[in-house]
Amino acid sequence: MTNLHSGLNLADYMKLYTTVHNFCTSQKAVSFNSSSLGNHRGAHLLGEDLYKLLSEYLTQHLQGLVQESNRHTEEALLAFYIREWNRYTNAAKYIHHIFRYLNRHWVKREMDEGKKSVYDVYTLHLVKWRDVLFHSVSEKVMDSVLKLVEKHRNGETIEYNQIKLVVDSFISLGLDENDSHKPTLAVYRFHFEKPFLDATKVFYTNESKQFLAENSVVEYMKKAEARLEEEENRVQLYLIGDIIIQLKKACNQVLIEDHSNLLRDEFQVLLDNDREEDMARMYSLLSRIAGGLDPLRAKFENHVRKAGLAAVAKVASDAEKLEPKVYVDALLEIHTQYQGLVKRAFNDEPEFTRSLDNACREFVNRNEVCKSGSNKSPELLAKYTDILLRKSSTGVEDGALEETLTQIMTVFKYIEDKDVFQKFYSRMLARRLVHSNSSSDDAETSMISKLKEACGFEYTSKLQRMFQDMQISKDLNTGFKEHVQASIEGKSLDSTYSVLGTGFWPLTAPGTNFNPPEEVAQDCERFTRFYKHKHDGRKLTWLWQLCKGDVKANYVRNAKMPYTFSVSVYQMAILLLFNEKLQNTYEEIAQTTQLNNDALDPALLVLLKAKVLTSDSGAKGGPGSTYSLNLDFKNKKYRVNLNVGMKSETKQEEAETNKTIEEDRKLLLQSAIVRIMKARKKMKHQQLVSETINQIRSRFVPKVADIKKCIEILLDKEYLERLEDDELGYLA
Give, in order, the Cα–Cα distances in Å from 650 to each of 427, 654, 660: 12, 6, 15
- Rounded to a whole number of angstroms, the CA Rg of the chain reads 47
Residues 621 and 684 in one domain: no
- End position of a domain, from candidates 277, 305, 330: 277
What band does 262 get if pLDDT is binned at 50, 70 and 90?
very high
Q: Is residue 323 part of a domain?
A: no
Give, in order, the Cα–Cα distances in Å from 681 to each of 673, 678, 693, 722: 11, 5, 18, 12
Q: CB 354: neighbour CB atoms within 10 A? A: 13
CA atoms within 13 A on the CB side of 189: 8
Residues 107 and 17 in one domain: yes
pLDDT tens-digit series, residues 657-708: 777 777 777 888 888 888 888 888 888 888 888 888 888 877 777 888 888 8
pLDDT tens-digit series, residues 500-515: 988 888 888 888 899 9
What band does 373 get if pLDDT is binned at 50, 70 and 90?
low
Residues 19 and 60 in one domain: yes
Stated as kind and residue range, the H or E segment containing 172 is helix 160-172
pTM of the entire structure? 0.77
On the question of pLDDT at 3 being above 60, the answer is no
Distance CA 419, CA 698 (A): 9
On the question of pLDDT at 651 being above 80, the answer is no
Q: Is residue 362 part of a domain?
A: no
Contact 688, 676 (CB under 8 A): yes
Q: Is residue 66 part of a domain?
A: yes
Mean of per-residue pLDDT scores for the chain: 85
Distance CA 703, CA 315 (A): 29
Q: Is residue 183 part of a domain?
A: no
What band does 2 get if pLDDT is binned at 50, 70 and 90?
very low
Residues 94 and 106 in one domain: yes
Q: Which of 58, 77, 59 is nearest to 68 (CA)?
A: 77
Q: Is residue 325 part of a domain?
A: no
Residues 513 and 535 in one domain: yes
Lowest mean pLDDT among 41-55, 262-276, 289-303: 41-55
For residue 31, give the CATH number of its domain: 1.20.1310.10
Distance CA 186, CA 171 (A): 8
List of E strands, 501-638:
548-553, 563-568, 583-585, 613-615, 626-629
Q: Is residue 477 part of a domain?
A: yes
3-state secondary structure 351-404: HHHHHHHHHHHHHHHCCCHHHHCCCHHHHHHHHHHHHHHECCCCCCCHHHHHHH
Residues 639 and 560 in one domain: yes
pLDDT tens-digit series, residues 522-580: 889 888 988 888 888 788 889 998 899 999 988 888 778 888 999 999 999 999 999 88
Q: Which of 370, 451, 461 is nearest to 413 (CA)?
A: 451
What band does 40 get if pLDDT is binned at 50, 70 and 90?
very low
Q: Is residue 438 part of a domain?
A: no
Q: Is residue 273 part of a domain?
A: yes
Contact 585, 628 (CB under 8 A): no
Contact 332, 407 (CB under 8 A): yes
For strands 639-641 and 626-629, give the pairing.
unpaired
On the question of pLDDT at 248 being above 70, the answer is yes
Residues 65 and 130 in one domain: yes
Q: Which of 410, 393, 495 is nearest to 444 (CA)?
A: 393
Residues 230 and 116 in one domain: no
CA 448 centroid distance within chain: 23
CB burial of 422-453 (b: ≥16 within 10 Å; e: otherwise) equals: bbbbbbbbbbbbbeeebbeeebbebbbebbbe
For residue 606, give the CATH number of its domain: 3.30.230.130
Residues 499 and 590 in one domain: no
Q: CB 57: neighbour CB atoms within 10 A? A: 13
Which pLDDT does position 153 carry in this prediction? 92
Residues 485 and 527 in one domain: yes
Give 584's strand partners: 627
Name every residue whose Cβ is closer than 8 Å to that of residue 213 and which is 6 or more positions away in sequence. none
Residue type at 670 in one-letter notation: Q
3-state secondary structure 500-521: CCCCCCCCCCCCCCCCCCHHHH
Report the number of distinct structural domains present in the chain: 5
What is the domain range of residue 640? 547-645
- End position of a domain, from candidates 506, 521, 544: 544
Distance CA 645, CA 606 (A): 9
Kindly report the backbone phi and psi dihedral angles of residue 397, in degrees, each rounded to the nearest multiple of 5, phi listed first. Answer: -80, 165
Residues 620 and 580 in one domain: yes
DSSP 131: I
Residues 678 and 639 in one domain: no
- End position of a domain, from candidates 479, 509, 544: 544
Distance CA 710, CA 716 (A): 10
